[in-house]
Amino acid sequence: MLARIQDEYIALEEHTRRRVYFMEKRTYYNEGNPNNITRAALFIFFMRTCYNGIYSVKP
């Protein structure tokens, strides 16, 4: 799930399109009642992308 979300996000090269994608996922996380797996994947995605990527992973 997380890999799919990240691949979709990375495929968007324009900053504006990435922002729209992020905001759509954030709205779904807050209001869409996702299942636990989706909620966890989105949480990690948010930590990797917002606030200049506070959460980092060694390649």
CA 18 to chain centre: 10
Asked whether the predicted pLDDT for residue 53 surpasses 70, the reply is: no
Asked whether the predicted pLDDT for residue 7 surpasses 80, the reply is: yes
CA–CA separation, 22 and 24 (whole Å): 5
Q: Is there a contact between 55 and 44 (Cβ–Cβ < 8 Å)?
A: yes
| Amino acid 50: pLDDT | 79
Side chain identity at residue 44, one-letter code: I
Domain boundaries, the chain: 2-49
**How much is the average pLDDT of 15-27?**
91
